[in-house]
Amino acid sequence: MARKKKRTSRKPERQYEHPIPSREEILAAMEKSGRPLTLVALASSVGIETREHRKALENRMRAMTRDGQILRNRKNEYCLTRHLDLVTGVVTAHRDGFGFLLPDDGSEDVYLAAREMRTLWDRDRIAVRVRPGARGGRQGTLVEVLERATKEVAGSFIRERGIDLVIPDKDSNARVLIPRGKAGGARAGDVVRASIVKHPTLRADAIGEVTRVLGRGDDPGIESVMAILSHGLPDQWPESVQQYADALPEHVPAKAKRDRVDLRDLALVTIDGADAKDFDDAVYCEKRGDGWRLIVAIADVSHYVEVDSPLDQAALARGTSVYFPDRVLPMLPEALSNGLCSLRPKVDRLCLCCEMEVARTGEVTRSRFYDGVMRSAARLTYVQAADILEGKSRRTQAFLRDRLGALGDVHRAFAKRRRRRGALEFDLPQTKIKLDDRGRVNDVLVAERLVTHRIIEECMIAANVEAAKRIRKARIPGLYRVHDGPDPDKIDELVLFLQSLGIKLSSPKDVRPRDLSKIIEKAAGRPEAELIEAVILRCMSRAHYQPRNVGHFGLALPSYAHFTSPIRRYPDLLVHRAIKHLLRHGRSKGFRYALPEMEQLGQHCSRTERRADEAVWQVEERLKCQYLEDHVGDEFDVFVTSVAPFGLFVRLPKLQIDGLVHVTALPGDYYHPSAGGTELKGEQTGATFRLLDELRVTLVKVDPEERKLDFVPVGAEQNSSPRKRSGRRGRTVKS
């Protein structure tokens, strides 16, 4: 009889004695090996032996690949990106087919030709090999798609020659083929949401499936819905976050107020816009000797948002609140943003304070940070505060007049110091879109900028500067708001533009903020002031977040951080966490975030900020175009903002929107731009159109989908035979 085999229990795997190596340790191990490594070889080199921990290591390697730190080659080996001479970053697509790579390291943008863009969409993370461009700059060749940003799209459903397509609502030439039976009941002209089944290749368009019909293209609010979906903006809270928000108390618990500086007897006030719902900053100022005592109290968001909690992860994914004309996507649930973290009047709120001693010269001679508990004395709008300062409000309580008077005094001291250091101060008009009860555009207004706007701005800048000083002095990883100097090529264009106006830039080879500030000051009050400011602004680099401090060019400051809006900006929340760590421990040791992780957070927050700006701009431009659809055939006063071989770009000052006067709408002639691109001149007639020329034009065409306006000079529209809406005559509209 055969002997039964003895049943043996499987030997348990040895428990891993240390956590999965950090990114820095993995990079160090790969650097030490000096060659590409398979997952098995890498696991062995960092002491990982069990299957479960090897799986965790693989997940971490996947995240590092997504972030561009490493790549996998054809042999499934992991390689260090920095040894492959590759540049990683995020794609920004242009509607004309080409695009740019915005490098993770903040270096110069890389041009991507239309062929490279055939397989790419906006916000994809990629790695490229860089070479010098044919016309200067850098040009990239796609090596690897690290992460697809687009999992679904929103756009117009159309039927073209029997083929169903979704055209995403973005500035790109992307389109998605919808196979038969996958249209979800959509009809031509519907706005739909479609999931991506296959991404585009060099030879084929993307393939998708309609998952939801959102409405028709002219439905109220559809513009914001499309922007939210097409830019991938999170608009739903995870269940875990919603449960947390629902469980929050209505009032601040007594135990949370312990061991905090009690500011409830001070007349701290909030000053915000009339339609603001979240109040995250309050101010208090009193005369003290020759100077002032200034307190900037900021909602203590970090008390409620624990690091790495589901709420924290959701806030990080959003990165910032997004303000559309018809809705807000808050970074935090309303129970926090409009509730416990909102500094409402007459209720106790937790805050993190920056208290400053300000000399009469506007210099902050001393500052300190501390946890506080406050009770706002009043919620003021900018208009109400301005009326109190100007003595227009008769029933105002004396304490408000005194506090606002002191704030006005400290603002003037700050403003003088700002001018002395040469900080740039742009005064470009800001438009505000007014919607009616049905969500339709009722009017477009230019927002008035009052002295109270400037008061709050200067107080917030002062607190942000002190926060930057605090984290820099402690050498704790934190995010600075950095702003590099202008690009030299753009400065050359600026010099040519200013020369056309008879203005000389004093030091074009070494431009300082003070040089540009003087030009803005001299132009103030002149007709061309707005355009000069706009052109200077265009030559500036975009401010962004990073843990390496290089100063802020525009504000002419050696260090600057965002501290004052943690309800709506994630970088401010990170700065709060750094400062609170220092308050509790006195030094940076033991801080939750290491420098490499903070670098990644800075890049992410910069991307989410840019994503939000682009989404809001897209909606506002489309709404302005819809508003102008009812004014086709009307006359406007415009001025020339740019000259191109094919015509003139002109701006409607009131709406702050540009349109085109095509060269064919100008008096019959052959037109050529000047060498500096400042004028367009006819060969035979000598007719000349220059930058800043004021024109009287007729609006002949509006394309809200493309956000394009076409004008013709008054009198020329009879020849162009524009289609006017029935029942309307040419009505003059002053802009």
Mean pLDDT of 634-651: 91
pLDDT at 732: 32
Check residue 376 and report its DSSP letter.
B
Average pLDDT over residues 701-709: 87
pLDDT at 493: 79
- Determine the pLDDT at residue 734: 35
Least confident of 92-96, 212-216, 433-437, 687-691: 92-96
Name the one residue in this structure whose structure tokens are 């003895």.
6
pLDDT at residue 32 tops 90: no
Contact assessment for residue 298 and residue 463, using Cβ atoms and an 8 Å cutoff: yes
- For residue 14, the model assigns a pLDDT of 37
The angle at the Cα of 59, spanning 58 to 64, to the nearest 5 degrees, equals 95
**The pLDDT value given to residue 7:** 44
pTM (2 d.p.): 0.81
SS (H, E, C) 252-304: CCHHHHCCCEECCCCCCEEEECCCCCCCCEEEEEEEECCEEEEEEEEECHHHC
Which pLDDT belongs to residue 12?
38
Give the pLDDT of residue 170: 60
Beta strands 269-272; 378-381: pairing state: parallel
Confidence of residue 676 (pLDDT cuts 50, 70, 90): low
Joined tokens for residue 609: 């900020």
C-alpha radius of gyration, the chain, whole number? 29
* pLDDT value, residue 112: 92
Q: Which uninterrupted H or E stretch holds 636?
A: strand 635-644
With beta carbons less than 8 A apart as the criterion, state whether 695 and 661 touch: yes
Rounded to 10 deg, the angle between the 398-421 and 451-474 helix axes is 60
Tokens, residue 240: 């875990």
pLDDT of residue 731: 34
Residue 155: pLDDT above 60? yes
Dist CA 385 CA 387 (whole Å): 5
Give dist(CA 470, CA 293) in Å, integer: 19
pLDDT tens digits along 341-377: 999 999 999 999 999 999 999 999 999 999 999 999 9
- What is the percentage of the chain residues whose pLDDT exceeds 90? 47
- pLDDT at residue 733, as a whole number: 35
Which pLDDT value is given to residue 171?
53
Report how far Cα 720 is from the mean position of its chain's Cα atoms. 40
pLDDT band at 390 (very low <50, low <70, confident <90, very high): confident
pLDDT at 126 over 70: yes
pLDDT tens readout for residues 444-495: 888 888 999 999 999 999 999 999 999 999 999 999 999 988 877 788 878 8
Asked if the model's pLDDT at residue 268 lies above 90, the reply is yes
Instruction: Evaluate if residue 650 carries a pLDDT over 80.
Output: yes
Torsion of CA 132, 137, 143, 145, to 10 degrees: 180
Structure confidence at residue 173 (pLDDT): 63
| Domains defined along the chain, listed by start | 23-81 (1.10.10), 85-147 (2.40.50.140), 152-217 (2.40.50.700), 239-482+552-619 (no CATH), 488-540 (no CATH), 630-720 (2.40.50.140)
**Sign for the pseudo-dihedral over CA of 553, 299, 578, 233:** negative
Question: How far, in Å, are 107, 219, 440, 631, 723 from residue 727 at the CA level?
Answer: 55, 23, 21, 12, 12
Query: Above 80 in pLDDT, residue 429?
Result: no
As a whole number, the mean pLDDT across the chain is 87
For 565-582, write each residue's pLDDT tens digit. Answer: 999 999 999 999 999 999
* CB-count exposure of residue 10 (10 Å: 0-12, 13-18, 19+): exposed
Query: Is the per-residue pLDDT at 15 higher than 70?
Result: no
Q: pLDDT-derived band of residue 172, with 50, 70 and 90 as boundaries?
A: low
Q: Which of 128-142, 630-644, 687-701 has the lowest mean pLDDT?
A: 128-142
- Separation of alpha carbons 735 and 676, rounded Å: 29
